[in-house]
Amino acid sequence: MDDMSRRTVLAATAAGSLFAATRASAATGDTIPQPQRPGHGGTDPGPRNLMRDQQNPDLLVPPSTDHGTLPNLRYSFSDSHVRQESGGWTRQVTVRELGVSKGIAGVNMRLNAGGVRELHWHKAAEWAYMLYGSARITAINPDGQSFVDDVGVGDLWYFPSGVPHSIQGLGPDGCEFLLVFDDGEFDEDNTFLLSDWLKHVPEEVLAKNFGVSDTAFNTVPDPSKLYIFAAPVPGALASDKIAGATPVSQSFSHRMTAQEPIKTKSGTVRITDTSNFPASKTIAAALVEVEPGGMRELHWHPNTDEWQYYIEGQGRMGVFAASGQARTFDFMAGDVGYVPFATGHYIENTGKTTLRFLEMFKSSYYADVSLNQWLALTPPELVQAHLKLDPQTLAAFRKSKSPVVPG
C-alpha cells in the first residue's frame, strides 16, 4: 500500500476510537490514527498518548516492508531536560538519551542578548551551526594565536579538543544554535570552566601565577553564577579584536549557507568538510533541503555513522540494516536522527513545506554511495540477472545521479 492510501485508511479507522481521543480530535480537527491496516492490527482503545501517536505515523502503522528489531534511531530535544541560567538555557541529546549514538552528542543552546557561555574548554571537539540570531565567539589556539568573530544564521564554528572558547549572544535578541561533539559521552554539564578552576586553586598559588596580591581573585563569582550568565551586549567586532595579537592561521568559523549549493530537481545540498573548512578535522556535514514530494535518495555512507538534526519541515527516514531488518522513523523540527555505519537509508519529505536538515559525520570528509549510481555504473546485463527489470526501467537508472530525487 502506498503512503497516500495508508493515510486514507488511518482516516477511515478513526470512527472506532476512544472517547478522550475523539474529544482531542474535535479540538484539533486531526484524524485519530489507529495501529491497523486492512487485515492487520486493531484499534487502540487506550490508554494512549495521542499527540505522540500523531507525530509518529510510521511507528504506529509501519510500512509493511518494515521488519525485525533495530535500536531507536530518533530522539527529540523536546524530551531533554532544559538547564536554565541567567543568560539563557541549554539541553542535550547524548548517548544517555539516544543509546545508539556512541560517537556523537548534540547540544541545543539559547543565549539571550548579551548572554555568555562562560570561557571554558573540553576534551571533545565542538562543531556548531547557528539556527537563529547571532553570536560573538572567541578562542585561542595552542600557538597563542587569537580568534574573535561574529556568526549568524547558517554559519558554523569548530573548536578542536582542548581549545578554550566562549560564545556570547548579540543584539537584538541573542541566538540559538546546535553544538555537535565528536564523543557520544560528552556532557555539557562537565566542561572545564574558568571560574570553577580559579575556585579550586589556593589563593597564594593564583597570586604567584599572575604576579598579583593574595586577595586579588576574591572577587571571582561562584561557578554556579556563571556557566551561562547575563552580561551587556558587546560593542562592534573591531573593538573586541585583541591589539597586537596574531590571528589564528586557520579560521574556526565558516559561512556554510554562503556556499553555492548542489542543486537537484527537488532540493539542494551543501557539503562542508576539511576540503572547504580546514579547521573542522573531526566533523563533516551536509545541509540538505528537500522540497515537498521530494526525497533524499536511497544511499549509505562508507566511512561512519550519521547524526542528523531536523531544522524545519516534516520527513520520514527508512533504514535498512541487513538480514531483513528495516524500520521507519518520523521527524520534525528539533528532532535528532541517527543512522548506524553503512546502514542503507532514504529521507522523504512528508510535509507541505521544505524539509531542511543537517547530516553530521565524525570524519574529516563527507562520503556517500548512491544506490542509483551503483546500479547505473554496473554492467546492465549483470543488473538484469539480479533484478529482471523491463529495459525502460533499467534505462531510467542511468539518468539519476543526484543526491535528491523527485518523489
Cβ atoms 116, 228 nearer than 8 A: yes
Identify which of residues 228 and 256 has a Cβ nearer to Mn ion in the complex.
228
Which of 44, 85, 126, 182 is close enough to bind Mn ion by CB under 5 A? 126
Identify which of residues 10 and 283 has a Cβ nearer to Mn ion in the complex.
283
- State the minimum distance, in angstroms, from the CB of residue 126 to Mn ion: 5
Report phi then psi at 353, rounded to 5. Answer: -125, 175
- The answer for residues whose C-beta is within 8 angstroms of residue 46's C-beta and 6 or more apart is 18, 20, 21
Task: From 35-43, 119-127, 253-261, 267-275, give the range in contact with Mn ion by CB under 5 A.
Answer: 119-127
Task: From 54-62, 123-131, 213-221, 234-242, give the range in contact with Mn ion by CB under 5 A.
Answer: 123-131
- How far apart CA 375 and CA 125 sit, in angstroms, is 38
* 182 belongs to the binding site for Mn ion (CB under 5 A): no
Identify which of residues 48 and 165 has a Cβ nearer to Mn ion in the complex.
165
Cell readout for 368 is 556517500
Task: From 3-11, 130-138, 303-311, 324-332, give the range in contact with Mn ion by CB under 5 A.
Answer: 303-311
- State the minimum distance, in angstroms, from the CB of residue 389 to Mn ion: 25
- State the minimum distance, in angstroms, from the CB of residue 233 to Mn ion: 21
Task: Convert 166-180 into a string of H (helix), E (strand) and C (coil).
Answer: EEEECCCCCEEEEEE
**Residue carrying the nine cell digits 543488473:** 383
- State the minimum distance, in angstroms, from the CB of residue 300 to Mn ion: 7
**Residue carrying the nine cell digits 574548554:** 121
- The answer for residues whose C-beta is within 8 angstroms of residue 232's C-beta and 6 or more apart is 114
- How far apart CA 314 and CA 217 sit, in angstroms, is 52
**Residue carrying the nine cell digits 576574591:** 218
| Active site (catalytic) residues | 359
Identify which of residues 18 and 284 has a Cβ nearer to Mn ion in the complex.
284
Cβ atoms 298, 268 nearer than 8 A: no
Total residues contacting Mn ion by CB under 5 A comes to 2
Binding to Mn ion by CB under 5 A, coded x per residue (else -) over 31-70, reads: ----------------------------------------
**Residue carrying the nine cell digits 565567539:** 137
Q: Which residues bind Mn ion (CB under 5 A)?
A: 126, 306
